[in-house]
Amino acid sequence: MTNQHDRQTNRPVTSRDVARLLGVSQSMISRAFDPRASVSPANRARIVEAARALGYEPNVIARSLITQRSGIVAIVMGSMENPFYTGMLDQLAQALDEAGLRSLLFRVPPGQDVDDQLPALRRYNVDGLIVASASISSRIAAEWRSDQRPIVLINRAVPEALVATVSCDNYGGARQIADLLIDSGHRRLVYVAGPRDTSTNRNREDGFMERLMERGVGLSGRIDAGEYSFRAGSAAARAAAALRPDGIFFANDILALGGLDTLRHELGLRVPEDVSVVGFDDVEMAAWPSYRLTTIRQPVAEMVACAVSAITAPDGMVPATSRSLTGLLIERGSVALR
């Protein structure tokens, strides 16, 4: 039976314990666990063998004190009520895991600012920072970079571009939606906006509006949903319906799903016969038969891969590049020809 503890003292077994057992120096044990260190094959074998027998595992904490690397990366997330981010988190955790890194999760409460949390973060010697659904001030971002620790924002842009950023081309995606709606004959269009302070909303709104303008069709109305949630989508749909639109572009899927449901079940409107609706993200539920929501699919897997490789990049000095990946229009059943 593998027993990770000394039976009497119940003390975790250390490298010294296995060194003593084998009659070698403690540092040799350390080296045996470093692939690049020089230890005779014979000794290395003896050591891993003894280590297993004793239940020894190098203590990451102690190691990180010296190496300044903990193998832990912090993921900071705002609310997880948007399923897009839970999906992202899942993939992020998986990708990090495959890179041999652990995820330390920082949840930023709705009202609170990320900035307050970050100082606490540095006490953990994390190897990198991935900010997934929260904004961050450029001042804090700059401090982090001065730390030489990689930081990357997913799906957020920081105006001053001091940090690495990977996101979907929200602007371009919204333009595609404008084209889709216009090409299929819609003329009374309403935009349902997400939170004002998110770059996702800004870019989607800008792209949509500009394309409308370019093609000479006006906007029949703009509703402020206030937050990205199902409930907010419902409320926005009620307000939007009063405008008698023939098409509604919701700033994201969770909003669109909430909107779709109240349009149909509360307002008695048929979607897409009476009104078309489009979202953005392509969360799992968008594909569910009850919704069949036309939307832009964010390339989550690629975004995650980008973020992780920015973290694992050779040196902490990742250039503060902004990568923008293009989304894919997924046409399902929520847009009709007019």
Partner DNA sequence: CTGAAAGCGCTAACAG
Partner DNA sequence: CTGTTAGCGCTTTCAG
Binding site for a second copy (CB under 8 A): 2-5, 10, 12, 55, 57-62, 64-65, 70, 72, 75, 79-81, 83, 86-87, 89-90, 93-94, 97, 102-107, 109, 119-120, 122-125, 143, 146-148, 230, 257, 261-262, 264-266, 284-285, 288-291
CB under 5 to 8 A by kind: which of DNA, a second copy, none does 104 bind?
a second copy
Residue entry with tokens 């989304």: 327
Which residues, other chains included, contact 132 with Cβ-Cβ below 8 Å and sequence gap of 6+? 75, 76, 77, 78, 85, 88, 89, 92, 154, 155
The length of the chain is 338
According to DSSP, the residues that pair with 106 across neighbouring strands are 76
CB under 5 to 8 A by kind: which of a second copy, DNA, none does 162 bind?
none
Q: Which is nearer to DNA, 7 or 319 (CB)?
A: 7
Q: Which is nearer to a second copy, 38 or 146 (CB)?
A: 146
**Residue ranges binding DNA (CB under 7 A):** 11-12, 14-16, 24-31, 33-34, 37-43, 56-59, 62-63, 65-67
Say how far apart CA 150 and CA 128 lie, in whole Å.
Answer: 5
CA distances from 214 to 183, 194, 200, 288 (A): 13, 23, 21, 34
Contact 102, 73 (CB under 8 A): yes
DSSP-assigned letter for residue 104: E
Q: Which is nearer to a second copy, 93 or 328 (CB)?
A: 93
CB under 5 to 8 A by kind: which of a second copy, DNA, none does 321 bind?
none
The least distance separating a second copy from the CB of residue 81, rounded to whole angstroms, comes to: 8
The least distance separating DNA from the CB of residue 309, rounded to whole angstroms, comes to: 23
The least distance separating DNA from the CB of residue 329, rounded to whole angstroms, comes to: 49
CB under 5 to 8 A by kind: which of DNA, a second copy, none does 261 bind?
a second copy
The least distance separating a second copy from the CB of residue 66, rounded to whole angstroms, comes to: 10
CB under 5 to 8 A by kind: which of DNA, a second copy, none does 183 bind?
none
Sign of CA pseudo-dihedral 17, 22, 24, 27: negative
CA distances from 141 to 152, 307, 318 (A): 9, 16, 13
Q: Which is nearer to a second copy, 148 or 321 (CB)?
A: 148
Q: In 3-state terms, the chain is what percent helix, strand and coil (to 5)?
A: 40, 15, 40
For residue 7, the Cα-to-chain-centroid distance in whole angstroms is 44
CB under 5 to 8 A by kind: which of a second copy, DNA, none does 103 bind?
a second copy
Say how far apart CA 175 and CA 196 lie, in whole Å.
Answer: 19
The least distance separating DNA from the CB of residue 39, rounded to whole angstroms, comes to: 4
The first and second tokens of residue 150, run together, are 């990689």
